Structures are given as structure tokens and as C-alpha cells.
Structure 1
């Protein structure tokens, strides 16, 4: 069985088990802002009740009570919003942070309207996707595949089936971020993380067969591409950059190989001391 067939069997079995073992839950979407808690909601109801009392009795004391509660409510909401934004800034959840920024700017991620080669607006989403795809593809060039020589003594790295052992696969899946978006295959990081132990063995076999045959399942080479506006004319497709969502399974495979290659390079002293970017424990500010 080749890697394409193995991946088809795996995805079909996983989807069937997910459908049989999952349950549906009704989610109530609260329209209130995230910093509005139960105490603030009670204060809002209290403010409304005072106003209704003023409308019935028309007494100046009720009006003054309403103004006092209204001013207090404004102050409490302002402080709650400030505390929420402060926690959001210092949190590690970048996805939640940028979602809040987009909502604050009232800018939704949508299909942009761009001009085609005839300098006229695209007729629909399909033509927009074609224009974006041609623009993004033109930004990439094929390399010469000629690597510089390494004039150092080193050991030889051999990536074998043991590199993709079930224990290694399970460790990488347990470290997944559950709020990351799935790729075109629709397999979420939540399922892969919660089922890391039972899925580690079949995935280790698929990874090893992929390495053995030097081939990847076609689904791993597909990505969901979203154009993100950078700056300049919004009607110009060149002013957008692509964000690709690849299958989480493929990203884990890449991470395992990347860790093996990195450990080999570090142990063989192939990375110079002046290299600070893209290394664990180092960054562009560590040279200073």
C-alpha cells in the first residue's frame, strides 16, 4: 500500500470515528463585549430599573439616582475594558489578540475586490482567486538547488523509521496548539492532540512510508490560501500577501524532520556562533 492509499484509509477511519464518538453541543453566542461580566450586567439591569421608575414617578430623586448609577457604570465598564485589553496584550494567544484588533477596527477578513489584467474589477470570487494565485506565484522563483560546500568535519545524518517512532509522534502532537486552524483536510489540532496516543502509531507508519518512498500524500500539498492586505492600493493584487493553512499532520511531520536536522547541525558544529536567527534560545536581539 502506497502512502496515498494509507492516508486515504487513515482519514476515512478517523472521520468515521469522530462522527460516531462526537456529540453536538448548542453554543449560545453572547453579544456582550468580552469584558462585560455578571456584576456589570447586574449594574446595567439596575440602571434600567431606576430609569423605568423615573418614567413612572417623574421624581427628580429618581433621575439623580439614574445619573449617579449611569456614571458609575461608565467608569466600571471603562476599567473592565482596560483590564481586558491589558491581559490580552500580555497573553500568548496571538490569534485572540488579532481577532480583537480586527473587531475593534471593524475590518473583517473577506474576499477583496482587485483589478484583473485588463485593469477592470474582477467579476467574482473565482476570478479574484485566479488573479491572486497568479500574483503570488509570480513572487516565487525556482532555486538552483546548488548548496554551498561545507568545509567542516561532521558526522552523517540518517533519518530512518526510528525518527518517526510513535513516542516522538505522540510528543509532538501533545504539544499542538488547539486553537490553530485546520488545513484543507479539515482535521483539527484538537482531535489530533486529544487523541495523540492512539493516533501516534498509524501516523508513525505513514510518516515512515512517506520517507521511504520519497512521496507525500496529495492532500498534504494542498493549502487554504488567504490574501492579507499589506499597504497601498487595495485594488492592486500585489499589495496582498498570502497566508497558507496546510494540514496539521503535515506540519507535525515537517517539525519532526526539522528537529532532527537542527540537532544534527548543532551537534556537528555546522551553525556558526554568529547565527542568531531561527535557533532555540537565540533571536535577532541576542547579539546585543
Structure 2
């Protein structure tokens, strides 16, 4: 028997030999999970051991999650919740320990989610928070956050179970419980407490790796209980993100199949007006054959003129289109984002190899990122401070910059709204706009069915306007009086452009205005506007 024949028989007998053996790539799986974060509900818990001076770091590391649950916040009444706001999150829900400066729990909910605090499920003696989420298709989810101190007595343990029991007694099927319970799942004695909760309330504890590390030990005490394990896409333990070398916790997280409203990114054109070539801009406007834009349909005529103004403007004024992500803190740089990705890769490598060299590299980069975040925020506010000192700054820009100091986490997005007639929660931008429009329309309705039209008396004038024509000089005067610090409308044409080329644009715009008056029609685009609903506190 030849060697080749023998090898062929061996391969046939083996049955499980692959053509290209080697490690299976996880890039596709990781990409799928990251994509799921955009559309599905996610939660993370971390024992932070004092939260106040770590918010910038926590936000940078964990802002992709929808629910941020923190235990051992070490807060008290002297710290206002207004000082704890995070960009793109609702005002935090918190429950501080009252008898000393430790303990406490706090929970953040992403601003695009609708929820309410369930005080009826919370016991005064227990450090816990309950919220009820309302998701798409009227899906209801209960989330509970707990902290149990290591020296808690049997009465406190029973109170935790009583609080969970109240949640189970509601008509809500999907219940999630997380927190630092100080029950070590690796310890036979304390694991009985965990099993007791699971059996009593028909729940499962899904975290399987160590979450708490000391100089000489590690334990699994940060837990996540779920009422239905089939709703989970992925769960696990994250890397150590805080600047703590000894006695620290790591995050525990869970990604669920519950769909959530997508947080919208929007496109914006940035113009660098100070670098524009306005001489060439005026020449291009002046030389263009505006008659080519004419159309008997006044709406098309107006759109043609607007589009041509934008085309010529973009050719002569530097500009770029950017996507604004609502999660971004203004001081977070691409370097920081890149280093965070590097650190994640180093963590996975160190965890796989357990090499001391890899762990050292991971810790060095982690500490470097902590310093970079602090430095980037300091530089950002230093630049804002320098801008405030500029004598050439307009009063409007001065107040705008000052506002970023006073309320740096203010968001302009509108959260999910509740229809008061149907009690339905609306999430999409179109639904929210229609609901607000319907509400404002109802406020302006006047029932005048029983009113009498007053007698205006005999007509006292015979003057009739037969023709109404505008002149180019009138249009030019109006364009020159426009305020350049006003925002552009839906057509994207700024007052800066109209004012800089007032003379050159006065002729095509006058012809457009006169055509509109002649046909007694207003272009459809002129009826569009950016309308902002401003919430007034009751």
C-alpha cells in the first residue's frame, strides 16, 4: 500500500477532517452583536464604589447601553441629580443610603425609551430601584436594581425576596433583576441563596464568570436574573474599565431580543464661510442663465432656483456633510475611541493567554485612556472659556457658549410621547410630530358656530390692486437687511449667502416672486419649516 493510498483511507475513516482547519473567525459574530445593539434593548450593571468623579469615564465606556445600573454610588442628599446628568439619558433614578456615606443605587435610562418608576415595588429598608419600560408594540418590561451589603442580616435578605415577589405578582411577564448581591455563585453555601431566588420566582441567573477581584481572590457576586432566558441574545462580563488596581468589580451586561426605538442620527452640512470665495460666488450667480430654471409649475420653479443657488454656493464655499450621533460627548476624540477599541482587543487577548505581559499592556492602556478622557474634557472647557473672553464674540454666541457650561447634557431630541386619548406610546419621529401637531391644532380651535358676522357697513373705497409687481431693487434691499446669525430653513440656504450675493440674486428671485403673485400660488417648499416644540414645566 502506497503512502498516498494509506492517507486517503485515513482521511475517509476520520470523517471530521476539514479542508482548512484552524480557529473559527469571530469577527462575523461580533459584528452581528454590535449591530443588535442598535435595535435591541441592552443593560449593564457595575459596582462603581463612588460614582460622582467617574461619570465621564462611565459615560464614555458604557453609553452604547440603554440601561446603566450602578451600585455602591456613595451619594447623599447634598449631591443634586442635576449634577449627575448624562448626555442622551433621562435624569437618573437613585436611592441613596441614609445612615452612612456608602451603598446606594442609581439607574440611567436612554432618552429614547419610555419608562416610569415603580415605587410600589420598592421597600424602604432595601437599597433598590424598580422601573417599568414600555417598548414598541406596547411591550412591558420590569427592571429591578439591588445592592446587598456583605454583612446584611436575614431580615434584609427576606426584604429583597419580598420586593421581587411584588414584581412577580404584577401582570408583567418579562422581569430583569440585577445588582451586587454579595452572594458568591462559586461558594456552595451562598449559591444556595441564588438557587432559592431562582426556584422561588422561576428565574435564571445568567452570569457565569468572576465579577469581583481582590489581591488574593475572585468571586461572582454581580448577578443578572431573568424570567425568560429565551429573550437573551448575549450576556457576559466586560473588562475592567475603572482606574482601580485592587478590590474592583467588572461590568456585567445583557443584550435582549426586545426591540427598541432607534436613536436617530442626522446629516448636517457644515459651511466654512470664512474661507469662501465670494467674488467668484457673485460672478457665478451673475453669469448663470436663470431662465433655465423657469417652470410653469411654481413649486418646481422655486425648487430649481433653490437647488441652483446651493450648487453654486457649494462650489465656492468649503463645506462638508457630517453625521451627528446623539451619543457623542463633545470632548470624546477619535484617538480615545481608537484606544478603547485597542484596549478591548488587548483584554480579550490577555484573557485568552493569561500572560502577565498581556495583562500589563492592557492595564497600561486602560490607565492611559482614563487620563486621556480627563485631559480631553479639560481642554474642551478651556477652549470654551477662551472663546468667552473674545471681544469680537456676539452676544448670541456668548450666551450659546455659556449655556454649554451651565447645561452640558441638555438634549434637543423629543422622548417617546403618550397619546392621552389612546394611552399609546409613540416612538417614531413622524408619529411624535403628528401627535404634537394634533395637540397644538386642538388648542387653536374656536367654536364660532353660534356667532354672528358683524355688519361692516357700506364699502368706503373703490381702490383695487390690479397688478402687484416687485422690483429687483426692492428685493435687493430686503436681502441686504437679512440677519446672518439666523439658522437656514429646510432648503439649506443660509442668510449669509443671500446677503453676500444680494445684487446678483435679486433678479432671479424677483422673477420667481412675481411669477408666484401672477399665478396666485405659493410654492410647496415655502410652506415647509423647522418647528421646535419647547417643553414648559407645569
TM-score, length-normalised on structure 1?
0.50
Answer 1 or 2: which has greater strand percent: 2
Larger Rg: 2
* Higher RCO (CA < 8 A, seq sep 6+): 1
